[in-house]
Amino acid sequence: MNILLVGSGGREHALAWKIKQSPACTSLFIAPGNAGTAEVGKNVAIAIDQFEALGNFCIQEKIDLVVVGPETPLVLGIRDYFETTAALRHILLVGPGKAGAQLEGSKDFSKKFMLRHGVPTARATTFQAHESAQAIEYLATCKPPIVLKADGLAAGKGVIITQSVTEAQEAVHEMLVQKKFGEASAKVLIEDFLDGIELSVFVLTDGTHYVLLPEAKDYKRIGEGDTGPNTGGMGAVSPVVFATPEFMRKVETQVVLPTIKGLQHDNIPFKGFIFIGLMNVGEEPFVIEYNTRMGDPETEAVLTRIDSDLVELLVACAKGKLDGHRIAINPHYAVTVIMASGGYPENFEKGFAITGLSQQSEAHVFHAGTILKAGEVLTSGGRVLAITGNAPTLQAAAQKAYARAATINWKNAYYRKDISQDLARIEKEGKAV
């Protein structure tokens, strides 16, 4: 079958790599892709939100399956566009419609969804722009740390955790009145702080049935020891030591099942990935957020642990026939280290030549922010490469990833040296949380 993958990050390179291994994949196109995806399939110069151009391309290349990587086209309604366009309706697509993507696109919507369907989550109150005075008054009654969340998509920057009421009041003013995140902060959630350790859980569902992918832990902060500003993610590890079978059973019964039942109850069809950001609070799962796509960089770790044919699963998902499908997961560890442009997540320069890419190695080198120019691979984004090592132990997997990272360079390249060390410590101490 002919497959079109939409997106251009490390997640998409990993998806392309896995899709290409399937005997069912005849041709693979990536729109717009990066220098890494160009090695696996054919890049197509169409932006992720140009639905008409993507649709025309699908007709021209007789695409059978579209896999949507990032959230933006989902929230903008790529599925709805394909389903309401006669010439595109027959094409299988992985990713929810606009209604389902609201689980990620609006934190107010997803909070109400969780409360309505009994999914454990932190208590929160939503305020609109004209209610800024009430929000400030309400904050005076809150106990720090206080979590503030912009309702809409804010490129991972919309959550602010404040350590004092005054700081929270200033931040809420910036968000609601000064529109710090534009329309995304026209509504703000004030949420209780959850004290625990985070886990990312991935579900592929057809709206009725589902398979659980391997879980992962993400490293969000730019600095070692989880310091400095939040980023899109600086590394990932899978499996996660505290995701014990007992904890994962709780996740399934208390979170995954009520989420899927809730979607059915609300008449929201959902064919795609649900990425559940969880906090493990004293061995109980609480949902921090839903995303309606795979995580990045978690995908670059998680997919290396799936032995099953991914295309088979994606097709079954898109057809609504996931029932009876199992997923084979290998028990090896995967450790992913993000190599980023110096200065990220704030200001950074792009366009530097990357050296060391062609060396043979045992680790996977997934491209994120790279571009091919005149035969040379140049940096083109904040997160540039995702290096994944796989091995039977956590230490060996990390060692493989770091050994490979040390052979790659460009001007001002930066990566965290401590990815997986916290989990190694927990493993050693035999303590869950």
Residue 405: name the closest of 420, 389, 423 by CA.
389
- Which of ligand AMP, ligand GLY, none lies near 71, with the C-beta cut-off 5 to 8 A by kind? none
Tokens of 31: 């729109």
Tell whether residue 191 is a contact of ligand GLY (CB under 6 A). Answer: no
Shortest gap between Cβ of 190 and ligand GLY (angstroms)?
Answer: 22
Tell whether residue 291 is a contact of ligand GLY (CB under 6 A). Answer: yes
Tell whether residue 12 is a contact of ligand GLY (CB under 6 A). Answer: no
Nearer to ligand GLY, 14 or 92 (CB): 14
- Which of ligand AMP, ligand GLY, none lies near 1, with the C-beta cut-off 5 to 8 A by kind? none
Phi-psi bin for 281: left (phi > 0), alpha (psi -120 to 50), beta? beta
CA pseudo-torsion sign 306, 312, 313, 318: positive
Please state, in angstroms and rounded to a whole number, the distance separating the CA atoms of residues 379 and 392. Answer: 32
Shortest gap between Cβ of 410 and ligand AMP (angstroms)?
Answer: 28
Contact 257, 276 (CB under 8 A): no
Q: Using CB under 6 A, which of the segments 22-30, 125-133, 240-248, 288-296 binds ligand GLY?
A: 288-296
Residue 235: name the closest of 343, 336, 364 by CA.
336
Nearer to ligand GLY, 262 or 277 (CB): 277
Tell whether residue 73 is a contact of ligand GLY (CB under 6 A). Answer: no
- Which of ligand GLY, ligand AMP, none lies near 106, with the C-beta cut-off 5 to 8 A by kind? none
Shortest gap between Cβ of 145 and ligand AMP (angstroms)?
Answer: 7
Using CB under 6 A, which of 151, 215, 298, 300 touches ligand GLY? 298
Separation in Å, CA 386 to CA 11, 166, 295, 334, 370: 9, 39, 13, 12, 11
Separation in Å, CA 294 to CA 127, 143, 298, 300, 331: 29, 34, 8, 10, 20
Q: Using CB under 6 A, which of the segments 42-50, 175-183, 222-230, 293-301 binds ligand GLY?
A: 293-301
Nearer to ligand AMP, 198 or 422 (CB): 198
Shortest gap between Cβ of 217 and ligand AMP (angstroms)?
Answer: 11
Nearer to ligand GLY, 291 or 390 (CB): 291
DSSP type of residue 383: E
Nearer to ligand GLY, 152 or 233 (CB): 233
Separation in Å, CA 240 to CA 230, 237, 421: 21, 7, 12
Shortest gap between Cβ of 77 and ligand AMP (angstroms)?
Answer: 22
Nearer to ligand AMP, 3 or 103 (CB): 103
Residues engaged in binding ligand AMP (CB under 6 A)? 122, 147, 156, 159, 161, 191, 193-194, 198, 220, 277, 288-289
Tell whether residue 233 is a contact of ligand GLY (CB under 6 A). Answer: yes
Nearer to ligand AMP, 9 or 41 (CB): 9
Contact 12, 33 (CB under 8 A): yes
Q: Using CB under 6 A, which of the segments 108-116, 164-172, 175-183, 294-302 binds ligand GLY?
A: 294-302
**How many CB atoms within 10 Å of residue 73?**
25
Residue 221: name the closest of 237, 240, 239, 235 by CA.
235
CA 319 to chain centre: 23
Tell whether residue 390 is a contact of ligand GLY (CB under 6 A). Answer: no
Please state, in angstroms and rounded to a whole number, the distance separating the CA atoms of residues 34 and 43. Answer: 7
Q: Widest CA span of the chain, in angstroms?
A: 60
Nearer to ligand AMP, 383 or 400 (CB): 383
- Which of ligand AMP, ligand GLY, none lies near 12, with the C-beta cut-off 5 to 8 A by kind? none
Half-sphere exposure of 77 (CA within 13 A, CB side): 7
Nearer to ligand AMP, 288 or 405 (CB): 288
Residue 402: name the closest of 365, 370, 368, 428 by CA.
365
Site for ligand GLY in 22-41 (CB under 6 A): none
- Which of ligand AMP, ligand GLY, none lies near 182, with the C-beta cut-off 5 to 8 A by kind? none
Tell whether residue 218 is a contact of ligand GLY (CB under 6 A). Answer: yes
Residue with tokens 């995304």: 184
- Residue 206: phi and psi, rounded to 5, are -100, 10
Binding site for ligand GLY (CB under 6 A): 156, 218, 233, 291, 295-296, 298
